[in-house]
Structure 1
């Protein structure tokens, strides 16, 4: 009887909880296929939080999306209240709590960089305008589609009444890659490595920084350089391995990262929702107002952040040595160039 009462209380709780409305774009793609089940079953917003999943893709992909919807239905997940599949922005962006913008124009063979930026400006200008027109002003927006930093900036600029602090781009995959590389080198679980930093762009110029990283070795925390005992590796192959990991996955798998990207998206959004652990920070591409670490204003730049009450805050006053400074400046310069090129297309 006691068990039956518990089940009854749980059912009543679920029936009384307001569902969170979550959009995933590019929903027929491989990243979304790895992502949607995790969101639906409570890995992101909690096992007791009902969700409505909204799936957006282009018209030619609606047949594939229908199959994804059937699979989600067939999972029989208690907290998944509804699945809405659409190719229309006015449906997809209506009353959103969270928007995860995965879909973007990929770079094709022979495509010039400016052509890639132009195509993505059109996509994220339109989606930003849809957020402005239809979504809640409290919506949290995560941009995954590359070039993620600049796409995020364009979306934010196209939704002027939504606070720029509500927009972020995914550098958590790079963050997780850096943690994993250190953990493997030290022979410890990845959970024993904290406070790595990804500075800058989600590109090959990003700077994975371990000068503030701590590693739990046999129950006591030590600095990463002390734990690894190989400064040359940490300043050389470690950095290039993280920077080029996406390309390495494509070369080996013949497809881009999907499972690891989906996991990173879950980590990123869950931390926004529930906050970071005391004494820990994570990497997120967020808006730069120009007064932190010498990073120019009006960029989406990856910083170390702490999160509380669904609000991120850049970690202040971490010492930056000359080695780090040069790499942080280089990735900022790339982002300035990307931004300036992309902004020329905004008026078109």
Structure 2
């Protein structure tokens, strides 16, 4: 027996290794059965600046989480640039990316999508009248709304990014009646994030310690960044931002508001291009909170279909404070609105009514 021991020990070890490998393969097979189904995400204007910054964020899991596989559909009129973006996505070897469709055909792009990020549109350029911009975007969003209506998943969530975002979202809702009004939103999260950042810089604290600012109204220069309900995390709880500015109470009603309102224009002036990176990041924040939920005690700003809350006329796409749970948003109710805020909120609502009338004149 002593003669065979040196041979038996390696055989035993080899057998154990084989059994361990079979067990690992079995466990891996079981785990694979629990892998989430891929979510199909559409990005329009995908070859543009925002699209170029956004699609790798989606593929990396910044929008839906690090355990959610995705299929990305990209739509753009610039086919060569679009195909180059597809090549880069493939070359990046993102573990969560399960497929890429790059197309100039709106019907193909909308096929089976669960989330639609509408970043494509015609921006206002020098010499263009508001009605010219509106007319071109009405045509685009009417066509894309019809395609989503016919080809997207029944519970598709839509986020409109291209400006005029609020009114573009309203047009999309008009021509995609099968998509619930609760599933069509527009982006004001970038403005919300800018407001948080301005307060954190002013107080010299980390931005994560500030919460519950509000962007009311239109994604335009009439938007109202409101810090009257915002709080800051302190050692044993929270403190209202307004209390921390007691010695400089005018800042929140003057410079803070105008800085947030004009931040996009300031970046264009310095960079010579729009704020694509921060916009893409805000898109991820918006969708992530909408799908996965907002943290307890925290609200965010989203452009949603007004139900008359806070005296805002129903039928407008207006930015409100919202909380999200189980894939649905709810407007935060019961916040006290002072005279200063009321005036700002109503001014933005009036602008949105004017845009709605202008859009309707382009439709019919």
**1:258 Cα deviation (Å)?**
0.6
Residue 121 of structure 1 aligns with which residue? 138
1:273-308 superposed Cα distances (whole Å, 9 cap, x missing partner): 101011110000000122x00001111000000100
Identify the range of structure 1 (27-36 vs 324-333) with the bigger mean alpha-carbon deviation.
27-36
TM-score computed with the length of structure 1 as normaliser: 0.95
1:159-192 superposed Cα distances (whole Å, 9 cap, x missing partner): 0111111000000000000000001111111100
Residue 86 of structure 2 aligns with which residue? 69
**1:10 Cα deviation (Å)?**
8.3
1:236-289 superposed Cα distances (whole Å, 9 cap, x missing partner): 000000000000000000000011001100000000110101111000000012
Match of 2:314 among 297, 311, 331: 297
Match of 1:112 among 120, 129, 151: 129
**Contact 1:27–1:65 (Cα < 8 Å) also in 2:** yes
1:4-41 superposed Cα distances (whole Å, 9 cap, x missing partner): 94996389437843110100000001111111111001
**1:227 Cα deviation (Å)?**
2.0
Measure the CA separation in 2 of the matches of 1:175 and 1:280.
Answer: 13
Trace 1:65-214 onto structure 2 (pairs within 5 A).
Answer: 65-214=82-231
Identify the range of structure 1 (40-49 vs 203-212) with the bigger mean alpha-carbon deviation.
40-49
Residue 344 of structure 1 aligns with which residue? 361
Residue 339 of structure 2 aligns with which residue? 322
TM-score computed with the length of structure 2 as normaliser: 0.91
* SS of corresponding position for 1:161: coil
* SS of corresponding position for 1:297: coil
Number of aligned residue pairs: 343
**1:218 Cα deviation (Å)?**
4.0
Trace 1:277-296 onto structure 2 (pairs within 5 A).
Answer: 277-290=295-308, 292-296=309-313
Long gaps (5+) in structure 1: none
Match of 1:9 among 5, 13, 28: 28
Measure the CA separation in 2 of the matches of 1:63 and 1:10.
Answer: 40
Residue 249 of structure 2 aligns with which residue? 231
**1:134 Cα deviation (Å)?**
0.9
